[in-house]
Amino acid sequence: MASEYSFDVVSKVDFQEVNNAVTQAMKEIETRFDFKGSKSSIKVEGEQLVVASDDDYKLKSVVDILQTKLIKRGVPILNMDYGKIEPASGGTVRQTIKMRQGIDQENAKKMNVLIRDSKLKVKSQIQGDQLRVTGKSKDDLQEVMALLRGAGLPLELQFSNYR
């Protein structure tokens, strides 16, 4: 039996699933009657998405369809940073959506403080873009997981490497 148990708190986006969701969303947009003849599109460029459409209303509809497809494919939409809606060529509008990977230092520090203030017998340390939590009791680690899930942080958390 191990004397210390641990797990990592990460925040990752599976870009293969993002590509699949974009493909599904584009198929739906092409077949929907309210988008007939519109110049709506979604493109994946690195770690961001570029959504374009005829006007603000249609752009918001395209983003809504995209979010629905992302949720169905298990992609966390809390990790999306929406840019401003800006005019594009041909009288269209576009919006860039950045996909955040990893936990930034500010949120990692918040999680560290939450864990420390919980008075559980665990240690947490920031390791790059993830947080490692170690403790002697599996029950304490599960309480930390529940605490972090209910904390209302502005990013989706996954728990990996549970030993």
pTM comes to 0.81
User: How do the pLDDT tens digits run along the chain, 163 residues long?
Assistant: 557 888 888 888 888 999 999 999 999 999 989 888 888 889 998 889 999 999 889 899 999 999 999 999 988 888 888 999 898 888 889 999 998 888 888 888 888 888 888 888 888 888 888 888 888 888 888 888 888 888 888 888 888 877 7
Sole residue written with tokens 């904390």: 151
**First-residue to last-residue Cα distance in the chain:** 11
Sole residue written with tokens 């401003």: 84
- Buried b / exposed e along 33-44 (16+ C-beta atoms within 10 A): eebeebebebee
| pLDDT the model gives residue 93 | 92
Q: Residues 121, 163: contact at Cβ < 8 Å?
A: no
> Which architecture, in CATH terms, is 15-99?
2-Layer Sandwich (3.30)
Looking at 3.30.70.860, 1.50.10.150, 3.30.450.40, 3.40.50.1000, the CATH number of the domain 5-12+103-160 comes to 3.30.70.860
